Amino acid sequence: ISKASVVDDVIASNEILYNDKLGRKIDHCIVIKYLNAVGDSKVAMDEYYSELMLGGHNRISIHNVCEDSLLATPLIIDLLVMTEFLSRVTYKKVSDNKYADMYSVLSFLSYWLKAPLTRPGYQAINGLNKQRQGLDNFLRILIGLEPLDELRFEERLV
C-alpha cells in the first residue's frame, strides 16, 4: 500500500472526472525514493501545475527540507491520544445487556496514517476529507450530537 492508493481511492470515488468515457486517465506522478545518505532529513520536491483562462498556465514548485522524525512527532502523539481515548469507548445494541469494545483495528486512526488497516471485508477509506468527516461525526455521536450532513437535502426541495 502506498500513497498511490490514496490517489486510486480519490479516482475511484469521482466518476464525473474519471470515467470510462474519459478513459480514466490521470495526470499525476508520485515518486518516493529513500536515500541512506540524507539520514533523517526529508527532501520533498512538489510541483503543482494548472491551466488558467485564455490558455495560460501556472506552475508552483516547492522544495522542502526538514527532519522526518520531527514531522512525525505530532502525528505519533495524536495517534497515542486517540488510541487511548478509543480504547475507553464501549457500545451496546438496544437488545444487548452487555457493553462491547470497539473492534481492535481502529479504522478511525486512518486519518493519521498513509496505509490504514481495517477489519476483514471492510474497504479502507483513503480520502483525507472523508476520513476527517467520519472521525468528526463519530466524535459528535459520542457527545450526543447528530452527525453533520452539509447536503441538507430537505432544505433544498420545493
Q: What is d(CA 12, CA 19) in angstroms, rounded to the nearest whole number?
A: 9
Residue-wise pLDDT for 70-123, tens only, equals 888 899 999 999 999 999 999 999 999 999 998 888 888 888 887 777 888 888
Per-residue pLDDT at 142: 93
Judge whether 128 and 110 are in contact, CB under 8 Å.
no
| Domains of the chain, each with CATH number or no CATH | 7-148 (3.30.2360)
Residue-wise pLDDT for 24-64, tens only, equals 666 666 777 777 777 778 888 888 889 999 999 999 999 88
Give the pTM.
Answer: 0.65
pLDDT at 133 over 70: yes
The Cβ-side half-sphere exposure at 157, using a 13 Å CA radius, reads 3
